[in-house]
Amino acid sequence: MRGNLVRKSRETYAGYRILNRDFDRRNLDAVISVLGWASRFMSTPKMLHFVLEIADCDLFETDGFSQRFKEKFYSYIRQWNRVRNKTASLKRKKLPEIQLIFSLESKYLLSAPGVPYNHLHLMVVVDTNHNDYGYKELIIAINRALSSILGLESLSFDETRTIFWNGPVVSEYGFLKFRNEKSSIKIGTFKKLYWHDLKTELADAVCRASYLCKLDQKELLPEKFQRGNSFGHTRPKIARTKSSVKLPNEVIIGAQLDILKHQSSGT
């Protein structure tokens, strides 16, 4: 791990400004790779940040998380498209491409001392295909997908008012974490607070997403998440054409190097 440690005294990495934390180099490389690919090859890539509690760590699994999320997300998008296409003059057929970066973390909250708050940070990169998909419908689909995954915090959704609620708490945006306009570390001027435009705000997006690569807030996680599976990301399809070595669609923290090493040695 020492060889993969990027210390917090370092302000930039691979030409990008990063937050003042200790990082795993492999995770930073993954973030830069996924966001850089999206910026280059997606038509209109937008990055949204979601944070929610892991309500039951025994039930929640990181293995296959990305695939489960995608299946549920696309199910809700198809459902809405069927409704929308009945009245819309322009029929939507193409589903928005997405990429994911996620990190599991744990910390104590002042409101519940002594009880670890196990939670999930998720960056969802969506190709809106030149505004074919709006931010509100994407936020709804993402929240509904997360709420239906076993072990994660769940919100109820009122379709008549397009709002979410958890007990007495009502929210229009659910688990979405807005960008902080007052942040002392930012690159450029914010255009929208609910997402990053990766065509014009890639540098700030990398800086924001570097937060998911930090090494602190891992010690309190349950043992099942202490085995190198507290960080993961999807792999853009185009990467498959650049190497004869095929990696799994969902790559967990540090696993890239191990997979390549074993395949090259024939094991």
The secondary structure element, H or E, covering residue 144 is: helix 135-147
Q: How far apart are alpha carbons 77 and 80 in whole angstroms?
A: 5
pTM (2 d.p.): 0.86
Interval 177-234: pLDDT, tens: 999 887 878 888 888 999 999 999 999 999 999 999 999 999 999 999 987 799 999 9
Task: Give the contacts of 25 (CB within 8 A, at least 6 positions apart).
Answer: 3, 4, 5, 6, 13
Amino acid in position 202: L
For β-strands 112-127 and 163-166, DSSP reports them as unpaired
Read off the pLDDT of residues 159-183 as tens digits, 9 standing for 90 and up. Answer: 888 999 988 889 999 999 999 887 8
